[in-house]
Amino acid sequence: MLWIALHTLRGRRVSFAGAFLTLVFGVAMISASGTVIAVSGDGKSTAGPAARTALAEAGNLLALFAGIGGFLTVFIVASTFSFTVSQRRRELALLRMAGAGPGQVRRMVLTETTVLGTAAAAAGALLGVPLTSVLGDVLVWRQVLPAGIELPLTPSRLVAPMLVAFVLGLAVAILGAWPAARRAGAIRPVEAFREAVVDTRPIPRGRRFLGVLGLAVGLGLMVLLPRVPPDGQLPLALFTAQPIVVGLALLAPVFVPRLTGLVVAPLAAFTGASGLLARENLRAAIRRTASCAAPVLVTIGITGSLLAGTNMLGAAGRASAAKLYTSQLRATGDNLDTAVPGVRAAVLVEDAAVSALVHRTSREMAALGVAGKGVSDVLGLGTTTGDPAQLTGSAAMLGRRQAAGFGLTVGDSVGLRMPDGATVPVKVVALYDGPPLTAPLLLPEQLVAHHRAVGARPPALHVALNNPADAARVENLLAAKGYEVTSTAAWLATSAGFREDGMRIGAELLAWFALLYTLFAVANTVTMSFSERAGEFAQLRLLGAQRTQVLRMVLWEGTGIALTGLVLGAAAVALAVGGLWQAVRSAGLDIPLDLPWVPLLSIAAGCVVVLLTVSTVATTVAMRPSDTR
């Protein structure tokens, strides 16, 4: 089987080139990302606090890179090998007629995958070393990392990520090819007599079930998204789009015949014979059309859902923060005094990040230290249970949803790891509803100040007015004390802008990475499809078709494939983003449905250009031998 596998790989270099390059690129990205993550998590790092924080944030972003890279690699490898098996049905059926059993055919396909995966994983692991420096430069350029930071790329830090990337790359290759190997083993010897490319077989019930399951899982996760802590919403928003995309890709053969008929109907009506042939080719070769449209679907679905979801999460975060901070003025400065005459409430509020030790696990959560009367006047607590007046000493107030997730109620105790590393037991004295996305743990400000981390921001004074007309008077009174005063609304807008800039930069990096990645798949699948049709094109030439007519037919086919992929990708975006929008609105946040049209249209145009260019070039090359006969 090894000899046959090597012979097949040599004979079908074009078919396997895309899978090889995809694996190389994916493994290199995993290796480079793993190196940066290893550096960011190294407790022996000599970088300063700001640099360590930036490295930690970059590590989180690159963990998403590795996750989406693994998903796309599995998808592209699976798509490549599935399409290759479909193209080789007659060849594999001849092997069955020659006496090869189903197990031998499966082992042959898996051997091809192992050889290809080993070579690609090794090349990608080695390429990850120089790519780490390039990745660091990109992160500095996008201001994820500070300028001038150096990544200590010692051999001890490089070896482990390279080995992990190699093993993951090989495992991903085998995992992606396993369904195709099973399908290859199920080919019957009688299919050796099959000549036509017409594919009238319905998709298997198992594939149909998995497609519906993917859609259900993706939409179900969207419903859970508002209940996830804010720092986990962006990763979940990314990964909830993937089951939806996979579900639509698996079900694509169901939609292809009618959908391609609709999108190519105008071409068939106004372009004569070339458009008519293109329409019938697309409708007859269902598997080929679906395989070529699937990468476009994935590109639009993943990148569109990520960019639109990030916009929506940013808007939801702003709306939730506005519900949390209900004060009118915010003051900062030294020796802040809560004794402000003529106001409803003046409360010190200090941000902190703590870890709750629950059920033998550590769960990070946002916290606010508060001091002063009228906490419910400056923070939107909603309905409370327990006694908020007992929030002194080592007490805490929890958001009701988070308390339910921890299994805690009033009177329970929980251990907190404070910003300075100390562990403090606190007693839950009250629960509150709070806004849907932002319900931090409330602690006494004195406790937070005692365990304040080095370089942490000092507390701010939030002021609730009796009358909005008093704003200028109170602002002047606070400014006379040497405080810097701003409206709470202006402060929220500024802080939301910084937070959304970080989310947007991360989302854009991930989206363009996914776009580059899936364009490999678009080019590879289309090249495989059109380069194998030399005999078909030669027959058309013998029947009197001119070269330009064949190229026009291919151009219309490519347009139909691109439009089919765009429609299915738009459906994936609509399901993912629409589900997220409805989930956020059902949680009580009324936000607009705002889509980033310019990036979405740019990505769609890129897919169309690549698909049409590659299909035209592949057809030109495929027709070349017929001209020399």
pLDDT value, residue 291: 78
Mean of the pLDDT values across residues 13-24? 74
Q: Tell me the three state secondary structure of residue 207.
A: helix
Residues 469 and 512 reside in one and the same domain: no
How far apart (Å, rounded) are the C-alpha atoms in residues 365 and 451?
16
With 60 as the cut, is the pLDDT of residue 207 above it? yes
Rg (C-alpha) for the chain, rounded Å, is: 29
- Max mean pLDDT among 40-44, 329-333, 356-360, 534-538 falls in 329-333
Q: What tokens were used for 507?
A: 């989302």
- Give residue 617's identity as a one-letter amino acid code: V
Count of domains forming the chain: 3
pLDDT value, residue 502: 63
Q: Look at 400 and 587; give whichever has higher pLDDT.
A: 400
- The answer to whether residue 328 sits within a structural domain is no
- Residues sharing a CB contact under 8 Å with residue 554, sequence separation 6 or more, in sequence order: 278, 530, 615, 616, 619
Q: Is the dihedral of CA 558, 564, 570, 576 positive or negative?
A: negative
Lowest-pLDDT range of 95-104, 228-237, 331-340: 228-237
DSSP class of residue 409 equals: -
Residues 14 and 62 reside in one and the same domain: yes
Which H/E stretch holds residue 612? Answer: helix 597-628
- The answer to whether residue 188 sits within a structural domain is yes
pLDDT value, residue 595: 82
With 90 as the cut, is the pLDDT of residue 242 above it? no
pLDDT value, residue 274: 82
pLDDT value, residue 40: 61
Q: For tokens 């606090």, what's the residue?
A: 49
Is residue 374 within 8 Å of residue 364, measured between CB atoms? no
Q: Tell me the three state secondary structure of residue 517.
A: helix
Q: Look at 375 and 185; give whichever has higher pLDDT.
A: 375
pLDDT value, residue 367: 92
Residues 191 and 206 reside in one and the same domain: no
Residue 26's domain spans which residues? 1-195
Mean of the pLDDT values across residues 259-266? 80
Residues 425 and 547 reside in one and the same domain: no
Q: What tokens were used for 59?
A: 């590590």
How far apart (Å, rounded) are the C-alpha atoms in residues 52 and 58?
10
pLDDT value, residue 268: 72
Q: What are phi and psi of 365, to 5 degrees?
A: -155, 155
Q: For tokens 């941000």, what's the residue?
A: 351
Burial class (CB in 10 A: 0-12, 13-18, 19+), 294: buried
Q: What tokens were used for 49?
A: 């606090």
pLDDT value, residue 46: 47
- The answer to whether residue 438 sits within a structural domain is yes
With 80 as the cut, is the pLDDT of residue 225 above it? no
pLDDT value, residue 587: 72
593 to each of 306, 503, 578, how far by Cα in Å?
Answer: 14, 18, 8
Report pLDDT digits (tens) over 318-353.
Answer: 888 889 999 999 999 988 888 888 899 999 999 988
- The answer to whether residue 299 sits within a structural domain is yes
Domain end marker among 482, 513, 532: 482
- The answer to whether residue 217 sits within a structural domain is yes
pLDDT value, residue 273: 79
Residues 143 and 161 reside in one and the same domain: yes
pLDDT value, residue 110: 84
With 60 as the cut, is the pLDDT of residue 78 above it? yes
Report pLDDT digits (tens) over 416-426.
Answer: 999 888 999 99
Mean of the pLDDT values across residues 44-65? 60
Residues 54 and 159 reside in one and the same domain: yes
Which H/E stretch holds residue 356? Answer: strand 345-358
Report pLDDT digits (tens) over 164-187.
Answer: 889 988 887 888 778 778 777 777
Q: Characterise 143 by phi-psi region: left (phi > 0), alpha (psi -120 to 50), beta (else).
A: left
- Residues sharing a CB contact under 8 Å with residue 199, sequence separation 6 or more, in sequence order: 284, 285, 286, 287, 288
Residues 512 and 604 reside in one and the same domain: yes
With 60 as the cut, is the pLDDT of residue 206 above it? yes
pLDDT value, residue 375: 92
Q: Model confidence at 43, in pLDDT bands (50, 70, 90)?
A: very low
Report pLDDT digits (tens) over 509-559.
Answer: 767 777 777 777 777 778 777 777 778 888 888 888 888 888 888 888 888
- Max mean pLDDT among 61-75, 157-171, 502-516 falls in 157-171
pLDDT value, residue 479: 92
Lowest-pLDDT range of 134-143, 163-172, 555-564: 134-143
- Max mean pLDDT among 24-28, 133-137, 520-524, 559-563 falls in 559-563
425 forms bridges with which residues in the sheet?
Answer: 415
With 50 as the cut, is the pLDDT of residue 627 above it? no
pLDDT value, residue 6: 72
Residues 34 and 78 reside in one and the same domain: yes
Report pLDDT digits (tens) over 421-461.
Answer: 899 999 999 999 988 777 899 999 999 999 988 777 889 99
pLDDT value, residue 445: 92
pTM reported for the whole predicted model: 0.74
Q: Model confidence at 138, in pLDDT bands (50, 70, 90)?
A: confident
Residues 467 and 503 reside in one and the same domain: no
Q: Look at 328 and 366; give whichever has higher pLDDT.
A: 328
- The answer to whether residue 419 sits within a structural domain is yes
Burial class (CB in 10 A: 0-12, 13-18, 19+), 17: middle
Residues 178 and 230 reside in one and the same domain: no
Q: Tell me the three state secondary structure of residue 266.
A: helix
Residues 18 and 136 reside in one and the same domain: yes
Q: Look at 607 and 6; give whichever has higher pLDDT.
A: 607
With 90 as the cut, is the pLDDT of residue 591 above it? no
- The answer to whether residue 21 sits within a structural domain is yes
Q: Is the dihedral of CA 435, 440, 442, 448 positive or negative?
A: negative
Q: Model confidence at 148, in pLDDT bands (50, 70, 90)?
A: low
Q: What tokens were used for 226?
A: 């508002």
Supply the mean pLDDT for the chain.
80
Residues 364 and 432 reside in one and the same domain: yes
Nearest CA to 130 out of 17, 31, 19 is that of 31
Q: What tokens were used for 578?
A: 């629409």
- The answer to whether residue 540 sits within a structural domain is yes
Domain end marker among 450, 482, 514: 482
pLDDT value, residue 1: 62
Q: Model confidence at 152, in pLDDT bands (50, 70, 90)?
A: low
Q: For tokens 């219309």, what's the residue?
A: 556
CA atoms within 13 Å, Cβ hemisphere of 447: 26
Domain end marker among 482, 501, 536: 482
pLDDT value, residue 506: 67
